[in-house]
Structure 1
Amino acid sequence: MTEDKKSCLQEYKLEQDNELRFEVETKGEKVYLTLKSGLAEIFGTELVKGKTYEFTSGAKVAVYTWQGCTIEVKGKTDVIYTAKETPMIIYSNCHAALEIMRSECENDNKRGPIAMVVGPQDVGKSTLCKILLNYAVRMGRRPVYVDLDVGQGSISIPGTVGAIVIERPASIDEGFSQEAPLVYNYGYKSPSGNSKLFSMVMDQLALTVKERLEVNKKTRHSGVIINTCGWIKGDGYRQLLHAGHTFEVDVVLVLDQERLYNELVRDMPNNVKIVFLQKSGGVVELSKSARTENRDQRIREYFYGTLKNQLYPHSFDLKWSEIKLFKIGAPPLPDSCLPHGMKPMDHLTKVVSIIPSPGILHHLLAVSFAEKEDEDIIYSHVAGFVCVSNVDTERQTITLLSPQPKPLPNNVLVLSDLQFMDSH
């Protein structure tokens, strides 16, 4: 059953292993969902019976029930239907297998399983990660979530890689708690922007995650779930192999592409389990413009929050003399001009000091924890991000949009390739 532009109040009775899927695309539209009876969940987070959940434009929702339930939906949806065939039992089996591995590691006091989710764009990798993390937390675990999808940036903003310890299930409307994330600045919306820099940043993240696993016993036994981007050919595939090696993964879950599955079976070590999974029928393919809009919305939420949790950023001026501004990457030199011992690719990760100019207007700047002005900048995690809203060359000042007031945690700022046009 598919109903387009369905409005007013509707009640849906779902049988066991059914999923109610709907999308809210119309701007300004709100849809309210209430579980009236039975048990149901959204991407692994249980719904509270009788509580009303609100969804706004851009929401793509799948309400799943193991035993059957009654759902009330109020408002106008662009698409809504009941799916009787879902991959949820297969995903649940993946969780059960990971849980067996966790229990064995707990008994032997070893590091828990490290699972990496891979596949092309728009097959539900982020959703599968959320389901596996929610199920793990509901079993009393504290897994680490690692996000390598720089185009989406679910832990911080696009253009970053990061990790966070998951201590409680994601809320239906706000997702996982964003307290104390570990974030590294990469500065491009795709790993292809600077593949050498991406590898270096990923290696540093892996090193820090391994160190943190050693500190906390419960997290060590719970293991890691890694989300990856949809670039799976050529250099993208090599980056997946590199990620598997550097994070020392035990399990790779391949969504929707048998060719990728077979390549990984061929190229990954024999001790790594490669599992092929089908994607959910509710996955929506995004256009390039929708992907760009989602990226902009993610950055906007970083500064201004969401409709339910609004934030009020600060704007202030800093003198050029008060900051140290850098960018990563320099123009390539001909091989004949390279200094002795320097490799042709080294210019991609060269840290260059720059003077503020109108060219950095609307660009994001990472506030780095780096103390030195050399490679420290690449390997240091960041305190957060600011956006350049004005550059005054006469007064030699720069105006920044910032989540917090002056002073900044550090005066070392790193230019990102990503931009944000502030419409507020």
Structure 2
Amino acid sequence: MMNLPGLNLATPVADAPPIAVVEKHEHNLRIYTEYRFEVSFARTLTIKLLEGTAEYFGTELAPTQTYSFSGTKGAIFTWHGCRLEVSGEAESEYVAEETGMVAYANAHLALEGLRDRGGLEGGPRVLVVGPENAGKTSLCKILTAYAVKVGRQPMMVNLDPRQGMLSVPGSLSTAAFSSILDVEEGWGSSPISGPSPIPVKMPLVYHYGLANPEEGKVFKPLVTRMALAVISRLEEEPLSKSVGFVIDTPGSISAGKGGVYDNIEHIVSEFSINVVFVLGSERLYSDLSRKYQNRPTDEAVNVVRLDKSGGCVDRDEAYMKQFRQAQIRAYFFGSDKENGLAPHSQTSDFGDLNIFRIAEDSSNAYGHDEDDMYSRPSGIYEKTIPTLSIQNSLLAVTTASPADRQEVIRDASVRGYVYVSDVDETKKKVRLLLPQPGQTPANAMILGSFPEDVPGLVS
């Protein structure tokens, strides 16, 4: 399901918003300043570097190349000064003189020092934590981009189901980065994303299917499974082992309950984390520093506080929903408007689908005791027959057989996703949208409650 899709279904064309005629204007940025902007999903902002040097979350802009942005909030920073040409309509734009880039660059240099001294033990294993909208993902991009820039091959791990990385929202993913990040597309492209000037990445994906890691007991087992995969990969690839990895996390796990951060502690333990960057929360920094301050040298965890960037803004749920739907649309139809993808539509019988819905009581699937976490896996999923309730939903096609035990299905990686565009309960037929033509996958498919339904993906 990772091949390029078929050519028998055209990309749906939404009504184009009225074109606003906006004259080009320029911004002259002094050293250590950044141009911050917000642009809606209905508009496009284009930016061109005319003079000097500049970077977008750690990735350098090519001179005179035009970059297009839509539905994003970004910042272009310059170390030596630059001149930008901007055209389009932004909801907000300004030049900021106070940024966190110097601190983030120092964090990168500190990690480089650890990599040079790591030897056979490997590079730093970095965890980034903090509340929502603190700039965690931006910091992860910067650290990854800087490592690639100096010839490293870092691994990036996304444990935030609300933000897809080389996959759709609702998933947890990891990938090794040996080429630069894509300025316009963020983390870059996977094989199903369509044409790209940047080499594609091959992510390993697990499906979580819930919005909040605090909702149930599925998150911890998947973290354990991801940690096993990442550490095994590092042992097989010396280039990645010497560099280590960076982990992005959801803000919800940083809220804590009475100073206890159960999911953070689980990630630290499973991944053998030795560096924790805390963004935007002095309380979290204080709690974690106190917890890890007296550990043995070979198990030391260095907790470092970094200031939240002034460019971080709250992203309301309406924006995040649009953002998720844009990611899902790009998964099936590509992000390149001129060279879009054309997924395959086909009709399947109810009996051809092996759908497992995340059980509503999955939060109690493993009991309440840590020692009992893996002892009662029977409540993870419920086998479900297609109904109208699954229309407009995504199904994660796993590598597991429907006859496998439920914990095997839970821990199975994802081959790809299919979209349920129509359900006919009378004829017991389901119309599916697949990235490529072929037989209906016989593998176990997971239906979660997140991401939410995406109506109108296929018109």
1:227 and 2:248 equivalent? yes
Task: Answer yes or no: is the 8 Å Cα contact 2:218–2:363 preserved in 1.
Answer: no
- Counterparts in 2 of 1:342 and 1:283: CA distance versus 1, 3 Å: closer
Structure 1 unaligned spans of 5+? 336-340
How far residue 410 of structure 1 moved from its aligned partner, in angstroms, is 4.3
1:213 and 2:234 equivalent? yes
Instruction: Name 1:136's counterpart in structure 2.
Output: 147
Instruction: Name 2:335's counterpart in structure 1.
Output: 306
Question: In structure 1, what is the Cα distance between the partners aligned to 2:395 and 2:62?
Answer: 40
**Higher relative contact order at CA 8 Å, sep ≥6: structure 1 or structure 2?**
2
How far residue 6 of structure 1 moved from its aligned partner, in angstroms, is 11
User: Which SS does the other structure have where 1:401 is aligned?
Assistant: strand
Instruction: Name 1:174's counterpart in structure 2.
Output: 185
Instruction: Name 1:255's counterpart in structure 2.
Output: 279
- Which range moved further: 185-194 or 94-103? 185-194
Question: In structure 1, what is the Cα distance between the partners aligned to 2:373 and 2:166?
Answer: 34
- The CA deviation string for residues 30-84 of structure 1, in whole angstroms up to 9 with x for no partner, is 222111111111110111112121222x222211111111111122222221111
- Which range moved further: 159-168 or 326-335? 326-335
User: Which SS does the other structure have where 2:448 is aligned?
Assistant: strand
1:358 and 2:385 equivalent? no
How far residue 327 of structure 1 moved from its aligned partner, in angstroms, is 2.4
- The CA deviation string for residues 89-116 of structure 1, in whole angstroms up to 9 with x for no partner, is 10000000001111112xx222211111
- Which range moved further: 217-226 or 363-372? 363-372
Task: Answer yes or no: is the 8 Å Cα contact 2:218–2:362 preserved in 1.
Answer: no
The residue type equivalent to 1:297 in the other structure is A
How far residue 292 of structure 1 moved from its aligned partner, in angstroms, is 2.1
- The CA deviation string for residues 204-223 of structure 1, in whole angstroms up to 9 with x for no partner, is 01111111111111011111
1:184 and 2:213 equivalent? no
The residue type equivalent to 1:185 in the other structure is H
Among 326, 344, 348, the alignment partner of 2:356 is 326
Instruction: Name 2:158's counterpart in structure 1.
Output: 147
Task: Answer yes or no: is the 8 Å Cα contact 2:165–2:187 preserved in 1.
Answer: no
The residue type equivalent to 1:112 in the other structure is G
Aligned pairs (5 A) from 1:26-41: 27-41=41-55
How far residue 135 of structure 1 moved from its aligned partner, in angstroms, is 0.1
- Counterparts in 2 of 1:60 and 1:260: CA distance versus 1, 3 Å: same
How far residue 324 of structure 1 moved from its aligned partner, in angstroms, is 2.0
Instruction: Name 1:52's counterpart in structure 2.
Output: 66
Query: Could you state the TM-score of these two structures normalised by the residue count of structure 2?
Result: 0.84
Question: In structure 2, what is the Cα distance between the partners aligned to 1:190 and 1:151?
Answer: 8
Instruction: Name 2:97's counterpart in structure 1.
Output: 84
Question: In structure 2, what is the Cα distance between the partners aligned to 1:302 and 1:333?
Answer: 30
How far residue 407 of structure 1 moved from its aligned partner, in angstroms, is 2.1
Percent of pairs with identical residues: 37
Instruction: Name 1:103's counterpart in structure 2.
Output: 116
How far residue 254 of structure 1 moved from its aligned partner, in angstroms, is 0.5
Task: Answer yes or no: is the 8 Å Cα contact 1:38–1:70 preserved in 2.
Answer: yes
Question: In structure 1, what is the Cα distance between the partners aligned to 2:350 and 2:372?
Answer: 32
- Counterparts in 2 of 1:360 and 1:342: CA distance versus 1, 3 Å: farther
Instruction: Name 2:410's counterpart in structure 1.
Output: 378
User: Which SS does the other structure have where 2:449 is aligned?
Assistant: strand
Question: In structure 2, what is the Cα distance between the partners aligned to 1:16 and 1:126?
Answer: 24
How far residue 409 of structure 1 moved from its aligned partner, in angstroms, is 5.2
How many correspondences in the alignment?
410
- Which range moved further: 215-224 or 290-299? 290-299
Question: In structure 2, what is the Cα distance between the partners aligned to 1:333 and 1:16?
Answer: 51
1:289 and 2:318 equivalent? yes
How far residue 332 of structure 1 moved from its aligned partner, in angstroms, is 8.0
Query: Could you state the TM-score of these two structures normalised by the residue count of structure 1?
Result: 0.90
Question: In structure 2, what is the Cα distance between the partners aligned to 1:332 and 1:175?
Answer: 33
The residue type equivalent to 1:190 in the other structure is N
Could you say which structure has the higher strand fraction? Answer: 1
- The CA deviation string for residues 305-328 of structure 1, in whole angstroms up to 9 with x for no partner, is 225452222211122232322223
- Which range moved further: 346-355 or 130-139? 346-355
Structure 2 unaligned spans of 5+? 1-19, 191-200, 366-370
- The CA deviation string for residues 354-390 of structure 1, in whole angstroms up to 9 with x for no partner, is 2222232222111010134212101110101112122
The residue type equivalent to 2:224 in the other structure is D
Instruction: Name 2:9's counterpart in structure 1.
Output: none
Question: In structure 2, what is the Cα distance between the partners aligned to 1:230 and 1:151?
Answer: 10
Question: In structure 2, what is the Cα distance between the partners aligned to 1:133 and 1:344?
Answer: 34
User: Which SS does the other structure have where 2:69 is aligned?
Assistant: strand
Question: In structure 2, what is the Cα distance between the partners aligned to 1:140 and 1:333?
Answer: 43
Question: In structure 2, what is the Cα distance between the partners aligned to 1:67 and 1:245?
Answer: 41
Question: In structure 1, what is the Cα distance between the partners aligned to 2:441 and 2:364?
Answer: 39
- Counterparts in 2 of 1:345 and 1:110: CA distance versus 1, 3 Å: closer
Among 127, 130, 140, the alignment partner of 1:116 is 127
- Counterparts in 2 of 1:405 and 1:167: CA distance versus 1, 3 Å: same
- Counterparts in 2 of 1:55 and 1:184: CA distance versus 1, 3 Å: same
